[in-house]
Every structure is written in C-alpha cells, then in structure tokens.
Structure 1
Amino acid sequence: MKASILSAICILSVLQFSCNSKSNKSTTADKPIKISNEGVNIVYSDSGNGDTTLLFVHGWGINRSYWSNQVNYFSKKYRVVTIDLPGFGQSGKNRNIWNTEAYGLDLDTVISQLHLKMSSLSVTLWQVILFCRRLLMLQMMLSDWWE
C-alpha cells in the first residue's frame, strides 16, 4: 500500500509541465468539462488562451481547485488546464484498478483529447512512469533489506 501511494505521489508531483496547444480556445475555469477514459469521466477546467498551455495536475488527496491561484495568475497570458484525476473532485470513481499506470493513461487521454503537444523541455509521460516504477522497485528492495 505504501508503495502504491509513493508511486502515485511521485507521478502526480512530477507531472506539472508545459504544453503547446493546437488551438487558442478560451473557456471559463468555473465551468467543468468532462472527457472519458475507459468509461471513467475526467473533469477538467480550461481557461485563458495563448500559444502555450500549462497543464496542472493535483497531488494525492486534493483536486483541481488547489490550483485556483495559479489559474488566476497564469490564465492572463496562457491557456491553463486543470484536471480532477479519477477518484478525486468531480471526476468518476467507477474504476477497478487504481495504480500509477492507470493515472498515467488518464493523463495521456487528457493530453491527446485536448490536442496538447509536449514541448521539447517537458518530461514525457512514459519517462515519469518508468521513473516511478524504478522508485517503487527500489523501495521494495530496501523494505525487504530492512526487515
């Protein structure tokens, strides 16, 4: 259990990155919008406009409202997208598998359905997943060693 929580915290805290957007779409941050990944709704807010999109992903035990101050500040110059990961906020809770890979696929779905393009300075989703898996393996090896 500790290992899966550590993995989730790792992936969610690392995945604050900048994206380039194909559109200059502007909607209000107050109006939640839904997309779906394998039948699980993922609620997000999309505000501001600009060539650069900032995607904010919350950590464990909170939701997209955590980023309200950042949205207010950055949406003046950039498109800002915030999401409620499944199981949090207004997103769906109808899933059987709750692991790092599932959350990674949710983020991949958001990025692809919103047509966000990773910038050259961004960390790719799969690099983060691999890093978290390696961290999890290291934690398991160390916990076995300490026992």
Structure 2
Amino acid sequence: MPERPCQGWWSPKTSGNSTRSDEEPKVCGGELCKMKTEIGMNMRIRKGMLLSVLTLLILMVSACVTKPVQTVRQGIVPSVDGSPIAYGVQGRGEPTIVFVHCWTCNHQFWKDQIKHFSQTHRVLWVDLAGHGESGSHRDRYTMSAFGEDVAAAVNAAEADKVILVGHSMGGAVVVEAAKRLGNRVVGIVGVDTFFTPFQYPKDQDSINAFVKPFESDFHGTSEKLLRSMFAPGVDPRQIDRIVGMFSGTDPKVGISAMYELFQWNAEHADEDLARYAGILYNINAAPTGKETAPNDHVVMVPGVGHFIAQVKPQVFNHALEEIISKLAQ
C-alpha cells in the first residue's frame, strides 16, 4: 500500500463527513513520522536544558547582588611584649572599621556590628591580651599595652586606612592605638566612654577605694556594677545574657585593667582627647531621654544604658554609619 502522510499520534477514523466515536492510533507508514517525533523530542529536551541554564544563571547573579563576596580570616599576632593577640578580618571596602571591646569582655560583643558592617566595609576585630581568645605575657594591663595589641592586629591585617571604634575601656585603648598608627587613623569613635556623666576617680585614694571591692569579691562586685548599667525596661533575659558574657575573664586581668584605666583617665584623657578632637566622635547613652549632647561630635541614643550596641544594635549601627559618612568626607 502507498504510505500515508503522518498527521500526528492520534487520528479519528472517518466515514464520509461523519466522525466515528471509536478512536484508534493512526499508524504512519515509512520513516517520516518517526523522524518528526524524534525531532520534536530533541527540541523539547534542548528547550528544557536552556531554561535550566538560564534559571541557574539568574540565581547566581541574584546571589552576587544580595550577598557581597566577603573574605574571612582569623589569626594570632604577637604584641610588643609577645602576648598572642587574636584578631579577625571580614568583608571588603575601605576604610577598615576596627572594633575594640570593653573591660573584661571580648570581640563577641560586636557580633551584630561585625555582621552588619562587613557587608560594606572591611571589618577588623581584636581580643585584647588576657581577654577572649588572646593570651597574655604581662602582669600590668595598661591602656598603652592594649593599644599595642590593637596596632599589632591592624598591622597584621595590612589595613592602610582605619576608623577605630572602642566601647567603654575600649575608648582609651583606641586612643592609645591611634598614637601608634599615625595618619592611618581617619577617625575614632568612643562608645559611651568620653563625655559621659560617669565621674572617674582621679586621685590615688579614690582609685584605690573604687577598686578595693573588686579585689575582695571580683565576680560579685562586677555583676552588681554591670546590672546597674542598664536603662529601665530592658528585658531581664537580655540583661542576663550580656552580664553572663563577662564571667570568663581572669580577676587579675580585670582588677589590673580597671586600675590602669582610672590612671589613664587621670593622667592622659584631657590632653589626648584634645589632640584628636577633629576626628573623635562619640555615641553615648541617654537612659532617660533627657540627656543632651555636650558638643556636635556626640550622638545621644535615648532609652538605653551603657551597652548601646548590644541592646539597640540597629539604632547604634545607623548612628555609626552616619559618623563613618562624615569621616569619609
């Protein structure tokens, strides 16, 4: 019989102008139908592969847009006295933002800031000697020695342009670090450390009297002090979490560092703050909301106590972003 042209997989049998209800597969003669079928299948396969590739490319581009490439590096560098100093580098973009923790704490206090600012800047964290992941070869924990720790980490990270951010005791530390880093420092940010209502003891008798209870009961006295530094209304669970982060430091380190911080404030603070007045900014607490800034380089954060970056991280981050923008001008 002669081959009939292929019209598809299925074709109804007809009689005259009527269509039969019982439909059967139509058999194509020769190779023509087979070739058409194979071509159709190949086209569908290729189309599916093309769509898969395009989808993969879109996902890859989206990932690059929403999650900037970051570099993460941690290391140990010796300070001037040989103390092993732990540091970490994350993110890209100048200037490098250097975060320095407070008394008896560690870099984990800055975790919200490290995550946030590493999206747009290179971030460097440091654990001071005797704190966090850093060791120690010293007996006295002076602000000058801590400044050497920060400078060693900045040098190890090969940072050319830095903004130093220090909370509480970390404020004195970053000022000391600035003395060693020179023109590489484009800004200093003190966090609830300078121009606050707290009156540091200035004379030797007052310093000794303040430190003495810590010598008798370091952990108990420390906890009492820390719990007094929160504004009313803070979630008790948040207070417990923050206070608990201070429990791991050796009392010898804490007592020495407190004594040396008071000595630094008595002997160096006024002169050093005047020296860096042009690039020194401050983010300070306003627990009642009625406190006012003493000058235009101080940003007040209402409704929070001493631990601004931990209790109100988003508000703090915004304030620091604005300061960074000013320093970059």
- Tell me the TM-score normalised to structure 1 length: 0.61
CA separation of 1:121/1:62 partners in 2, compared to 1, >3 Å: closer, same or farther?
closer
CA separation of 1:118/1:32 partners in 2, compared to 1, >3 Å: closer, same or farther?
closer
Higher relative contact order (CA 8 A, sep 6+): 1
Shift of 1:119: 5.6
What is residue 35 of structure 1 aligned with on the other side? 77
Shift of 1:121: 10
Q: Which has the larger radius of gyration?
A: 2
Deviations 1:109-143 (A, max 9, x none): 22233232346999672399xxx9xxxxx812794
Deviates more, 1:97-106 or 1:84-93: 97-106
Say whether 1:55 aligns with 2:108: no
Say whether 1:82 aligns with 2:129: no
Instruction: Structure 1: give runs of 5+ residues left out of the alignment.
Output: 1-25, 133-137
Deviations 1:48-84 (A, max 9, x none): 0112210000001210011111111111110011111
CA separation of 1:141/1:87 partners in 2, compared to 1, >3 Å: closer, same or farther?
closer
What is residue 178 of structure 2 aligned with on the other side? 125
**Secondary structure at 1:139 match in 2:** coil
What is residue 98 of structure 1 aligned with on the other side? 141
The structure with the greater share of residues assigned to strand is: 1
Q: 2:112 aligns with which of 43, 58, 69?
A: 69
Aligned partners of 1:93 and 1:73: how far apart in 2?
30
Aligned partners of 2:179 and 2:109: how far apart in 1?
25
Instruction: Structure 2: give runs of 5+ residues left out of the alignment.
Output: 1-69, 166-174, 181-187, 189-193, 195-200, 208-329
Aligned partners of 1:92 and 1:77: how far apart in 2?
31
Question: Identity, % of aligned pairs?
Answer: 28
Aligned partners of 2:123 and 2:96: how far apart in 1?
6
**Secondary structure at 2:202 match in 1:** helix
**Secondary structure at 1:117 match in 2:** coil
Aligned partners of 1:90 and 1:83: how far apart in 2?
9
Q: Which amino acid aligns with 1:35?
A: V
What is residue 5 of structure 1 aligned with on the other side? none
Q: 2:157 aligns with which of 110, 114, 117?
A: 114
Kept in 1, the 8 Å contact 2:95–2:163? The answer is no
Paired residues in the alignment total 110
CA separation of 1:40/1:121 partners in 2, compared to 1, >3 Å: closer, same or farther?
closer
Aligned partners of 1:56 and 1:87: how far apart in 2?
17
